[in-house]
A and B are shown apart, each in its own frame.
Chain A
Amino acid sequence: MDNNIKILEDYQIEYLRDESRRVGSANTISFPKTQSEVVNIVLSLVECQSLITIQGARTGITAGAVPEGGHIMNLIKMNKITGLRYDEVKNDFYMMLQPGVLLTDVKKILESKNFDTKNWSQSSIEALEVLKNSGKYFFSPDPTETTASIGGMVACNASGACSFKYGATRKYIEALKVVLVDGNILELKRGKTKANGRNFSVKLNFGKILNGNIPSYNMPNVKNASGYYAKEDMEIIDLFIGSEGTLGIITEIEIKLLSKPAFIYGMTSFFRSEEAALNFVRAVRGDSGEEITKPAALEYFNHNALKLLKSQKLTNPSFNKLPDIHSHYHTAIYTEYHGESKDSTMQMLMDATVFMTSFGGDEGDTWVATNDRDMERLHFFRHATPEAVNLIIDGRRVANPSITKLGTDMAVPDEYLENVINLYNSSVSEEKLESVMFGHIGNNHIHVNIIPKNIEEYHKGKELYNSLAKEVIAMGGTVSAEHGIGKMKTVLLKEMFGDAGIMEMIGLKKLFDPELRLGKGNIFNYS
């Protein structure tokens, strides 16, 4: 056995969990620091055919990192930024890093530009000099949980509020190195390896060639993190992004950086009815085809979410700094604009204001942020809703330990915005379940959080969730827009792509992992 493989100790119990609250089991664990350590561990496990679950920072909420026996390979110690690349032609910067680097570290290092360049190549060091003289750059995917690892973000194709403008993690992955379960290494660069129709061929490091088929299903035309990416003539690198630890172990990532917008302004507007709020959303989103600058983020807080925040503010000291919400308002929408000048960004806010007042909003009742301090407050408000739900659930779990939050992560195409909101509203009210709704309305991606009071409601909620999924799929939507399938939504994925689609995914997986040992339980179940 490789030295790095250790028996899992009692005090390492945290490694059987992620943020999904599910607890798993495992026999051994390793914390490799380099790609060659990963290869050696993997080779060591070939003989006993051990299952392997890959972990990053374990901030996922669908149990993707929760092991179902076997070996845990935790990549958190692969946390070096290994280089920078500057493409003179495209005038773009790229950062090379190991999967265990956290998002918050990437944010900090791009602010300070204070890189540790030990062991960097000469060209990386030169690229750093160019970066230092080049204004501010940032990595645009912005999930709320900044302690997530970049490897984890790649594995589940993470998104954040500003993915409305910039897109999900997928768009910013330029290259990957993947160690397969047999110890071979696959290097993929965007633009270099594409499928031919739905067939593809890749060459591994020692020359072995793998030929495979892209699943034949069509992905819904929405923000999506469900199952394997599959498209005609697709880039093969996209197979691995969002593959949730089922195809290989990502050991090196090259991410694309964007020039940081000089001005970031935000505004929370309040509306007297949900209808008015949705009209506002369509207007600022430019659904009518009007030429307008779209917001970078477009977020929604339904009436129950506002009510919850108001009551939390009264009872909970950590919510003290929430601004007061006027009671005559029903629904709130947050818009964020990114611009290159104060004037142009302010103009974007003012243009949105015109729409807002046309739908009954009041200029005096808006919350506007034009500096970091105020922006932090608006972001706090955004995160306060799921936080508040968690606190209530935690309180209810004392009496009923098996209750958990039930949160949906579904998205539909633009034309179904009102339909899906009506569907959600009528469903929860019919079942008389307590709920809040909030989320990335720009992508018609609303999180419905059902807050069960007891175990009966919990089961009712789960059933409701499944029936909602069927309807969303019928609208051409997806069952998971950003959290991934993990182990918790495998049934829903089956609804989406059918048994045939699942079988195709398994077939694809077998190409890279013939004994089905990696990430067991993720994306699909199989015996």
Chain B
Amino acid sequence: MNIIVCVKQVPGSNDVKMDKVTNTIIREGIEAIINPFDVYAVEEALKIKDNFGGKITAISMGIPKVVDTLKEVLDLGVNSGVLLSDRAFAGADSLATAYTLSKGINKIGKYDLIICGKQATDGDTAQVGPSLAEKLGIPHTTNVSNIEEVGADFIICNRSTDEGYEVIKIFLPAVITVVKDINVPRLPSIRTLKSAKNAEIFIWNLRDINADKNYTGLKGSPTQVVKTFIPQYDTGTEIFEGTNEEKCNKLALRLLDMKTLFSI
């Protein structure tokens, strides 16, 4: 099976702090990492390759430094990496990103399955997977928590829903986005590290992938940010004093006043 995995490099820390005095974000040496959901996408591709053979190509859109992320997945056993990098790609929203990725994927050539992580931890939009499938004109499904069966031209998988899950049969080529329940990602081994030394990473720009600069980057993004601000949570807080017993008593009295708690 020829599999393409979409990966993204995102800021590392979940603990971005706010400077209370200046009301600005303190980014303390935040390293860039691979988007956590994408690690599961890579693992799923590797599992399929282990069972059915084939090739895995990882693709990402980003600045030159993103080569590091591609190297990381090559170390796990991915066969090759493609980085789409060009100033013209900067400032892309999900639509422009999907367009750009689709052009890169078209250049890669034949593929059976495209696997994406459910969402990226910086944007959390979960939009690129479905949008990409549309650009490629292939079917998609999201929130895949298990692949039950892999056929010659289809897969059967479980899709997590708000109420439980659905069993979906999807014909290939297709895009699936995966959730963390789907597998336990492996660690690299000495063997995969050694193989990775021979694996190639291709870096393609706008012209290489034949993309139209009207549809990439900020220009190709129908949505624009007009304002960014730091959310304020305004509240007067009552902190109870005394022994634990006293504190709990005071709290209970306060909440007792709120009839809802004790509505019978």
Question: Once A and B bind, how many residue pairs between them come within 8 Å at the CB atom?
Answer: 59
User: Would you call A377 and B243 a contact (CB within 8 A)?
Assistant: no
Tell me whether B190 and A112 are in contact (CB under 8 A): no
B186 cross-chain contacts in A, Cβ below 8 A: 323
Q: Judge whether B28 and A368 touch: CB under 8 Å.
A: no
Interface residues of B in 161-217 (CB under 8 A from A): 184, 186-194
CB closest chain-B residue, reference A321: B184
A369-B75 Cα distance, complex, nearest whole Å: 10
Residues of A near B39 (CB, < 8 A) are 373
B10 at the interface (CB under 8 A from A): no
Interface stretch, picked from A162-170, A224-232, A358-366, A417-425, is: A358-366
> Interface digits, A362-398 against B, CB 8 Å rule (1 contact, 0 not)?
0111111111111001100000000000000000000
Interface range on chain A: under 10, 10 to 19, 20 to 34, or 35 or more?
Answer: 20 to 34
Q: Does B72 contact A (CB under 8 A)?
A: yes
Q: Please tell me which one of the listed residues A349, A367, A372, A378 contacts residue B31 in the complex, with CB atoms under 8 A apart.
A: A372
Of the listed residues A9, A323, A364, A373, the one surrounded by the most CB atoms of chain B closer than 10 A to its CB is: A373
Question: Complex: how many Å from CA A104 to CA B28?
Answer: 17
Q: Which residues of A contact B187 (CB under 8 A)?
A: 323, 367-369, 374, 377-378
Contacts of B189 in A (CB 8 A): 363-368
B220-253 CB contacts (< 8 Å) to partner A: 243-245
- The reply on B29 being an interface residue by CB < 8 A is yes
CA distance A371 to B187 in the complex (A): 11
CA distance A377 to B187 in the complex (A): 9
Who on chain A is nearest to B39 by CB? A373
Q: Which residue in chain A gives the minimum CB-CB distance to B193?
A: A368
Number of B interface residues at 8 Å Cβ cutoff, please give it: 22
In the complex, A368→B194 CA distance in Å?
12
**In whole Å, how far is A223's beta carbon from the nearest beta carbon of chain B?**
29
- A9 surroundings in chain B (CB, below 8 A): 243
- The closest CB in chain A to the CB of B189 belongs to A366
Contact between A353 and B184, CB atoms less than 8 A apart: no
Partner of B190, one of A111, A322, A324, A368: A368
Contact partners of A378 in chain B: CB under 8 A: 187
A111 to B191, CA, bound (A): 33
* Residue picked from B72, B75, B188, B194, most chain A C-beta under 10 Å: B188
Does chain B have a CB within 8 A of A320?
Answer: yes
Q: How far is the CB of B2 from chain A (nearest CB, A)?
A: 23
Instruction: Give chain A residues whose Cβ lies under 8 Å from the Cβ of B244.
Output: 11
Q: Is the CB of A11 within 8 A of B243?
A: yes
Given A11-B243, A366-B190, are A111 and B184 also a contact pair (CB < 8 Å)? no
Residue B33 lies at the interface, judged by CB distance under 8 Å to chain A = yes
Residues in chain A near residue B184, CB distance under 8 A: 320-324
> Distance (Å) between the CB of B239 and the closest chain A CB?
17
Cα distance A33–B29 in the bound complex, in angstroms: 32
Interface residues of B in 73-110 (CB under 8 A from A): 75
Q: Which residues of B contact A368 (CB under 8 A)?
A: 75, 187-190, 193
- Report the Cα distance A112→B12, complex, angstroms: 14
Decide: A374 and B28 in contact? CB cutoff 8 A: no
**CB of A344, distance to nearest CB on chain B (Å):** 15
Chain B residues with Cβ below 8 Å from A366 are 189-191
Q: A11-B243, A11-B244 are in contact. Are A111 and B28 (CB under 8 A)?
A: yes
Q: Of residues 1 to 25 in A, which have CB atoms within 8 Å of B's CB atoms? A: 9, 11
Contact A370 to B243, CB < 8 A, known contacts A111-B28, A114-B28, A363-B194: no
User: Which A residues touch B188, using CB under 8 A?
Assistant: 367-370, 374
C-alpha gap A64/B194 in the complex (Å): 49
The answer to whether the Cβ of A348 comes within 8 Å of any Cβ in the partner chain is: no
- List residues of A (110-165) whose CB comes within 8 Å of B's CBs: 111-112, 114
Q: Evaluate whether A363 and B29 lie within 8 angstroms (CB atoms) in the complex, with A11-B244, A371-B72 already known.
A: no
Rounded to whole angstroms, the CA-CA distance of A372 and B243 in the bound complex is 42
Residues of B near A349 (CB, < 8 A) are 190
Q: Does A267 contact B (CB under 8 A)?
A: yes
Q: Which A residues are in CB contact (< 8 Å) with B245?
A: 11
Which chain A residue lies CB-closest to B76?
A374
Q: Judging by beta carbons under 8 Å apart, are B75 and A363 in contact?
A: no
A367 surroundings in chain B (CB, below 8 A): 187-189
CB distance from B141 to the nearest CB of A (A): 24
- In chain B, positions 21-56 with a C-beta closer than 8 Å to chain A are 28-29, 31, 33-34, 39
Name the distance in Å between B242's Cβ and chain A's nearest Cβ: 11
Q: Given A321-B184, A323-B184, A363–B28 Cβ distance below 8 Å?
A: no
Expressed in whole angstroms, the Cα–Cα distance for A372 and B29 within the complex equals 14
- Of B28, B190, B243, B244, chain A has the most CB atoms within 10 Å of the CB of B190
Chain B residues near A364: list those with CB within 8 A: 189-192
Chain A residues within an 8 Å CB radius of B12: 372
* B-chain residues with CB within 8 Å of residue A371 when the two chains form the complex: 33, 72
Query: Shortest CB–CB separation between residue B17 and chain A, in angstroms?
Result: 9
Q: Which of B29, B194, B243 contacts A112 (CB 8 A)?
A: B29
- A11 partner residues in chain B, CB cutoff 8 A: 243-245
CA distance A324 to B183 in the complex (A): 11
> Which A residues between 85 and 119 are near B, CB-CB below 8 angstroms?
111-112, 114
With A111-B29, A114-B28, A323-B184: A370-B190 Cβ-Cβ less than 8 Å: no
- For B190, the chain A residues whose CB sits under 8 A away are 267, 349-350, 353, 363-364, 366, 368
Give the interface centre of A11, A369, A371 by most chain B CB atoms within 10 Å. A371
Separation of A111 and B184 alpha carbons in the complex (Å): 30
Distance, CA A370 to CA B191, complexed state (A): 14
Closest chain B residue to A375, Cβ basis:
B187
Chain B residues with Cβ below 8 Å from A370 are 75, 188, 193
Task: Enumerate chain B residues within 8 angstroms of A363, measured Cβ to Cβ.
Answer: 189-191, 194
Q: Other than the known A111-B28, A368-B75, A373-B34, what 9 A-B pairs have Cβ atoms closer than 8 Å?
A: A323-B187, A349-B190, A364-B189, A368-B187, A369-B187, A369-B188, A370-B193, A371-B33, A374-B188
Measuring CB to CB, which residues of chain B are less than 8 angstroms from any residue of chain A?
12, 28-29, 31, 33-34, 39, 72, 75, 184, 186-194, 243-245
Residue numbers of A with Cβ under 8 A of B are 9, 11, 111-112, 114, 267, 320-324, 346, 349-350, 353, 363-374, 377-378
Give 20 A-B contacts (CB < 8 Å), ordered by A residue. A111-B29, A112-B28, A324-B184, A350-B190, A363-B190, A364-B192, A366-B191, A367-B187, A367-B188, A367-B189, A368-B187, A368-B188, A370-B188, A371-B33, A371-B72, A373-B33, A374-B187, A374-B188, A377-B187, A378-B187
> Which A-B residue pairs are the 8 nearest by beta carbons?
A367-B187, A363-B190, A364-B191, A363-B191, A366-B189, A368-B188, A366-B190, A112-B28
